[in-house]
Amino acid sequence: MTARTTVITITHNGGLVIGGLLKSLPADLPLIIIDNASEDDTLDIVGKLRPDAKIIRNKVGLGYGSAASQGLELVETEFALLANPDSLMTGEAIDALIAAADQYPDAAMFGPIHKDGNGDIEPSHDVELWKRGDYGTLAYECVPEGPLCVEFLSGAVNLVRMDVMRQVGFYDREIFLYFDDDDMCARMLRAGHGMILVADSVVTHLNGGSVRPNRAYYWEKFWHLAWSRIYFERKYKGRLAATCLGVKHALRFAMKALLYGATLQRKKGWRDLARCFGSIAATIGVRASRLPRAVNR
């Protein structure tokens, strides 16, 4: 039987986790690997475990969304399953997502229940960003007994209809990391397409291990978290709203960085200094993307 789903995963120094994902995937599903300039053994492991995989090697890391869009461009099946390299799948979980897609033809995105490495539930759905707390923390921890229509699904693992993705557009190339899944969900909602959390589909999300944390990693992570939040505000609420939020966040994180520095909590101070600079950069219009600016966006 011809596969209806192509799996896409984005890697960047994911040698510690990619083997688990590849071993957990059904071998008959087409697999696309987009590698963001890994310097470890990630692609060696892919070559050994899935020599049939289609691999795109980026010489420079392009971030999650732009790399995911590269993979989506290559999909020829009805669905695409985007799965982080630190996730563990089962054929049953994927089948449940496809069954939900057949049951709800008006919905465009389907997400599984997430469990962490200890078997505890990891929140993976929520309301729209505007209805959450100030910094977008996931609010829902309930586990539904059946399919649930939601306003946000985590980008760690989800199944999407390719015809809708081509209609709505792939990931925003201006976002390098973080809030790209919020942006995709917002565009889905605005285009009139539903999203379903599928209770019968359960995956494990190890939530880390794709890179080896260091000072540069923490700076990049929290800089982009702050930058993307302000960019998201500007995209949907305009420049004035983004400027107000950017100034608020820059001042807030600058004060926190000074406080942590004074109390010798250097790691937290470094984190909030990165958030401060990311907020400032987004507010004054510094780009995060490493791609040329699109001519017609």
Residues 173 and 47 grouped into a single domain:
yes
Residues 83 and 23 grouped into a single domain:
yes
* Among the ranges given (55-59, 99-103, 121-125, 178-182), the one the predictor scored with the smallest mean pLDDT: 121-125
Q: Which residues contact 285 (CB under 8 A, 6 or more apart)?
A: none
Residues 68 and 172 grouped into a single domain:
yes
Judge whether 221 lies within some domain: yes
Judge whether 132 lies within some domain: yes
Q: Which of 143, 177, 205 is the last residue of a domain?
A: 205
Residues 128 and 226 grouped into a single domain:
no
Q: Using alpha carbons, list the distances in angstroms from residue 10 to 78, 173, 215.
A: 20, 15, 22
What is the structure's pLDDT at 166? 96
**pLDDT of residue 206 exceeding 90:** no
At 121 the three-state DSSP class reads strand
Q: Which of 205, 232, 259 is the last residue of a domain?
A: 205
* pLDDT tens digits along 96-110: 999 999 999 999 999
Domain that residue 59 falls in = 5-205
Residue 293 DSSP one-character state: P
Contact 203, 86 (CB under 8 A): no
Residue 11 β-bridge partners: 35
Q: Once rounded to an integer, what is the mean pLDDT over residues 178-189?
A: 96
Judge whether 290 lies within some domain: no
Q: Which backbone phi and psi does 31 adopt, to 5 degrees?
A: -130, 130
What is the structure's pLDDT at 296? 42
Residues 143 and 233 grouped into a single domain:
no
Residues 201 and 248 grouped into a single domain:
no
Residues 199 and 234 grouped into a single domain:
no
Residue 129 DSSP one-character state: G
Banded pLDDT at 138 (limits 50, 70, 90): low
* Among the ranges given (128-142, 145-159, 209-223), the one the predictor scored with the smallest mean pLDDT: 128-142
Q: Which residues contact 57 (CB under 8 A, 6 or more apart)?
A: 35, 43
Burial of 275 (0-12, 13-18, 19+ CB in 10 A): buried
Residues 75 and 178 grouped into a single domain:
yes
Q: Which of 187, 205, 223 is the last residue of a domain?
A: 205
Average pLDDT, the chain: 91
* pLDDT tens digits along 10-42: 999 999 999 999 999 999 999 999 999 999 999
Q: How many domains does the chain have?
A: 2
Residues 64 and 195 grouped into a single domain:
yes
**pLDDT of residue 2 exceeding 70:** no
pTM of the model: 0.91
